Amino acid sequence: MAHDDVHPVSLNCGDCPIRHRAVCARCDADEIDELENIKYYRSFEAGQTVIWAGDKMDFVASIVSGIATLTQTLEDGRTQMVGLLLPSDFVGRPGRSAAAYNVTATTNILMCCFRKKPFEEMMERTPHIAQRLLQMTLDELDAAREWMLLLGRKTAREKIASLLSIIARRDASIKPLAGSNRVTFDLPLTREAMADYLGLTLETVSRQISALKRDGVIVLEGKRHVTVPDIDRLLMEAGDDSDGGFLI
Amino acid sequence: MAHDDVHPVSLNCGDCPIRHRAVCARCDADEIDELENIKYYRSFEAGQTVIWAGDKMDFVASIVSGIATLTQTLEDGRTQMVGLLLPSDFVGRPGRSAAAYNVTATTNILMCCFRKKPFEEMMERTPHIAQRLLQMTLDELDAAREWMLLLGRKTAREKIASLLSIIARRDASIKPLAGSNRVTFDLPLTREAMADYLGLTLETVSRQISALKRDGVIVLEGKRHVTVPDIDRLLMEAGDDSDGGFLI
DNA sequence: CGAACAATTGAACACAGTCAAATACTGTGG
DNA sequence: CCACAGTATTTGACTGTGTTCAATTGTTCG
């Protein structure tokens, strides 16, 4: 079923879109050369599973393009997303042989992979990699804690508004049309994936999106394309502190 | 109000109870000497706030003894615990000047502190510290993700059983009376703190603890001392995978 | 002993979940 | 290009878990 690598890809690190944000961000020219030699690319189509929790995982990787998710499940099927992987995010844990979570491509993705052994050896010798990985892991931990507040204490409406804010923020940082407080973007997640992210059912997600639409907080064209006429209004709905760090 | 340092403490790193588990775990004798020179101790009484979110934080620290919590709040007072700090856990983030969370002592605690600047400088030169900190941060991230599953998808009863399992596991690793599947421990948290941990109200916590007691899953002596006659039963109630990693 | 705090218990309610049906998309083959 | 199948999404009616508000009981410590 899984036939990845349909279109084998090659890319020079110099031209890589995530060169300055990924785990290699701090590496100098020599170090990049070394990484260049051990890297390889893999691509997955939307919906494909990259790896199952518990499976042997002999590589680590950076997301080059597309979106993937980390999910955890209880035996009875209840599913919780525990990570949303965007371009430049890191997959896998040095020093661990099995995957701890399911990794799934929600859009077509391209990953820059390193076999675990050589990568670990290089990490030992290369503080720049370990330093960057520490920084990224601390950022992820902060994001996870923000997420815990959402899961534990926010209402369904606030959860939806928070998720839309996060996506809007990310898109704003890519195409910063500053000045205006109007934002437009595509939802990269299905209703079900949103539900798994937010600890809700997909019906509740659908209802709350409809409610935000009815109340004029968002405008929908089709099911996936969202326009936020007033981003401050959305941030209020998300229930965070005043500015929510949106402008930082 | 806050009068810490009532009993200034001094301790040799050689005698330190967290020497092999804290951020200094991998340091060699020379490195420990250097840390010894810049460390200082602070103690806080149960209930005291160590630092408020947003306050300037010019130190990082290890918890030597006692228990502290990290919490986040929404403006309207809703509170979510996002970290439970046990002995050897690390407080603060290198490269960040303000505290991101409220840190509160739930029992009397002793912290081994380092001023941020010297610590960061030493970290630059000392891979052993950065390596250990990365490892600890990755562990915390895993714990946070486990917690997200709990917050997003578990029932109130499962949440309580999970929390009791976590505390039981920790105590078991300290005094491992293997063979028996009977465990006894004291709850280090109030009902309110448990509620903030689990994303519940304190009334629901109280009701579910009463229910677990009524059903014979736990036995209470007083409000804080818990006996679990059959740890496997408790783990079943927690809803995790079969063994829940309890024996690993 | 009494005050302050912590925990339990009860009753009514509300928010989100469940089950079910209808509707809107998407891509495929005729 | 359209019809159709399969999937995603919306909407409705009802239910149930956990919350809220309130009163009571238990514990700790001046």
Distance of alpha carbon A194 from alpha carbon B234, whole angstroms: 31
In chain A, pLDDT over 90 holds for what percent of residues? 79
Q: Which pLDDT does position B6 carry in this prediction? A: 46
Q: Which pLDDT does position B3 carry in this prediction? A: 44
* CATH architecture, domain defined by B154-238: Orthogonal Bundle (1.10)
Tokens of residue B142, six digits = 């895993």
Q: Which pLDDT does position A122 carry in this prediction? A: 95
What's the pLDDT tens digit per position in B195-242? Answer: 999 999 999 999 999 999 999 999 998 888 999 999 999 999 999 865
Distance of alpha carbon A135 from alpha carbon B130, whole angstroms: 10
CATH number of the domain located at residue range(s) A155-238 in this protein: 1.10.10.10
Footprint of strand C on the protein (CB under 7 A): A 155-157, 199-201, 203-204, 222-224; B 190-192, 202-203, 205-207, 209-210, 220, 223-224
Q: Which pLDDT does position A70 carry in this prediction? A: 98
Best mutation target, A129, A138, A154, to test chain B (most B CBs within 10 A): A138
Contacts of B130 in chain A (CB under 8 A): 127, 130-131, 134
Q: Does the beta carbon of A224 lie under 8 angstroms from any beta carbon of chain B?
A: no
Say whether B144 and A144 touch across the interface (CB within 8 A): yes
Confidence of residue B190 (pLDDT cuts 50, 70, 90): very high
Q: Which pLDDT does position B179 carry in this prediction? A: 64
Looking at the DSSP bridge assignments, the partners of residue B41 are B112
CA of B203 to C1' of D19 (A): 9
* Alpha carbon separation from A174 to A16, A187, B108, B207 (Å, rounded): 16, 15, 47, 48
CA distance A205 to chain B (A): 14
Confidence of residue A245 (pLDDT cuts 50, 70, 90): very low
* Alpha carbon separation from B70 to A136, A215, B81, B97, B124 (Å, rounded): 20, 36, 6, 17, 27
Confidence of residue B107 (pLDDT cuts 50, 70, 90): very high
- Classify residue A92 by its DSSP letter: S
Residue B55 DSSP SS3: coil
What's the pLDDT tens digit per position in A62-98? Answer: 999 999 999 999 999 999 999 999 999 999 999 999 9
pLDDT at A9 over 70: no
What's the pLDDT tens digit per position in A122-175? Answer: 999 999 999 999 999 999 999 999 999 999 999 999 999 999 999 988 876 666
Nearest to A219 by CA among A181, A182, A171: A182
What's the pLDDT tens digit per position in A14-70? Answer: 999 999 999 999 999 999 999 999 999 999 999 999 999 999 999 999 999 999 999
Can you give the residue ranges of every domain in chain A?
13-150, 155-238
CB-count burial class (<10 Å; 0-12, 13-18, 19+) for B170 = middle
Q: Which pLDDT does position B248 carry in this prediction? A: 39
pLDDT at A113 over 80: yes
Best mutation target, A102, A129, A141, A241, to test chain B (most B CBs within 10 A): A141
Domain B13-144 has CATH 3.60.70.12: no
pLDDT at B40 over 60: yes
CB-count burial class (<10 Å; 0-12, 13-18, 19+) for B12 = exposed
Determine contact, residues B14/B24, Cβ cutoff 8 Å. Answer: no
Residues 131-170 of B with CB under 8 A from A: 131, 133-135, 137-138, 140-142, 144-149, 151-154
* CATH architecture, domain defined by A13-150: Sandwich (2.60)
B1 vs B51, more confident: B51
pLDDT at B67 over 50: yes
Determine contact, residues A154/A239, Cβ cutoff 8 Å. Answer: yes
The residue assigned the tokens 């950076």 is: A62
Other C-beta atoms lying within 10 Å of the C-beta of residue A199: 26
Across all strands, nucleotide nearest A223 (CA–C1'): D9
